Amino acid sequence: MTHVVALIAAGLALLYVCAVLLLWRFQEQIVFQPPSGVAASDVAARRVTYRAEDGIELFAFLVGECEGDATFVLAFHGNADLSRWLVPWAAQVAREAGVCVMLPEYRGYDGVAGVPSYAGSAHDARAALAFARDSLQVTPERLVYFGHSLGTAIAAELAAVMPPRSLVLQSPFSSARAMSRRLFVPGVGAFYRLISRVHFDTNARVAALDLPVWVSHGDKDLIIPVTMGREVFAAARHPGELLIVPGAGHNDVPEIAGRGYWSWLVRAVHDGDRSSATRAAPTRTRSAP
């Protein structure tokens, strides 16, 4: 009987080790999931190209009036999304808030060369910012970073090294380590640093940022729980406004919240813009109707 128990224990231990090894091997594929088989389509936006520091050629879409001195929103999409799919959202942002929106694409997505990775996402974000700064003459006081899902972590990482005027996060996760605890390998959070090549830590980033941080989240989000959005907001050194949307999941916050979302977003992108007639509301938490 003891021999059988030992064999079972050894088998379980072997399975656990195999699961950890698989997680180590495929962690980038878990974090970055470029949509496949996407047909080319016309996009109602200006496409621009530029290169990352390591030579990868990237592109982005510009939406709205991007000449002059309007607020400039650099918006990073989520892991299974594409920048072209955010063009309708960006068009409404431009209309509602009178801003220019830049939608950068990541390596490995939508025909871009390269393999997505934590390090690569930093290169790609810096390249998009460099294009905005050098080719469009966007100054830091006009800059707002926006991110959705994975894009919130990329935006927060960029803000830590190149601060914007404000940071706007939709459906953020607190850290990659916290997300790893939601995977199929129990206990992995305890030794995450030993096996991980993905080091996103949005809580730590916003705690150190000397700029307003705005957060929205659906309370029925099954991908990234709303508790993480609350954690990120609570961690912010300078919290802006937290919008909790009842009944919204991971990808439908704007649709479910309706005008509540767009009002929140307009206030967020103009936070700190003292030349604008639109003023950010005082710090508070809201629930969309």
Q: Please report the DSSP string for 203-252 in residue order.
A: HHHHHH-SS-EEEEEETT-SSS-HHHHHHHHHH-SSEEEEEEETT--SS-
Whole-angstrom CA distances from 83 to 96, 111, 197, 218, 246 are 20, 12, 25, 21, 26
CA gap 207, 87 in Å, rounded: 31
Q: Terminal CA-to-CA distance of the chain, rounded, Å?
A: 61
pLDDT tens digit string along 127-141? 999 999 999 999 999
CATH number of domain containing 84: 3.40.50.1820
Residue 283: what pLDDT? 45
Residue 176 located in a structural domain: yes
Contacts of 153 (CB under 8 A, 6+ apart): 147, 172, 173, 176, 200, 202
Give the range among 30-34, 71-75, 179-183, 279-283 with minimum mean pLDDT: 279-283
Give the range among 27-31, 46-50, 54-58, 188-192 with minimum mean pLDDT: 188-192
Residue 195: what pLDDT? 62
DSSP code for 147: E
Residue 287 confidence class, pLDDT cut points 50, 70, 90: low
Residue 194 located in a structural domain: yes
Residue 24 located in a structural domain: no
For residues 64, 260, 271, 205, the Cα torsion angle rounded to the nearest 10 degrees is -100
Total structural domains within the chain: 1
Residue 80 located in a structural domain: yes
Residue 228 located in a structural domain: yes
Between CA 164 and CA 170, with CA 165 as vertex, the angle to 5 degrees is: 80
Provide, for the chain, the percentages of residues in helix, strand and coil under a 3-state DSSP scheme, each rounded to the nearest 5. Answer: 45, 20, 40
Residue 215: what pLDDT? 98
Residue 157 pLDDT > 60: yes
pLDDT tens digit string along 81-123? 999 999 999 999 999 999 999 999 999 999 999 999 999 999 9
Checking DSSP bridges between strand 100-104 and strand 143-148, what pairing results, if any? unpaired
Mean pLDDT of all residues belonging to the chain: 86
Contact predicate 89/61, CB 8 Å: no
Residue 42: what pLDDT? 83
Residue 276 pLDDT > 70: no
Q: Give the structural domain span for 118.
A: 44-287
Residue 34 located in a structural domain: no
Residue 5 pLDDT > 60: no
Complete DSSP assignment for 149-207: THHHHHHHHHHHHS--SEEEEES--SBHHHHHTTSSSTTGGGGHHHH-S---BHHHHHH
5 token code pair: 């128990």
Residue 58 located in a structural domain: yes
CA gap 214, 216 in Å, rounded: 7
Is the pTM higher than 0.85? The answer reads: yes
Q: H or E stretch including 58?
A: strand 57-63
Residue 278: what pLDDT? 39
CA gap 99, 105 in Å, rounded: 19
Residue 199: what pLDDT? 87
Residue 86 located in a structural domain: yes
Contact predicate 102/128, CB 8 Å: yes
Residue 11 pLDDT > 80: no
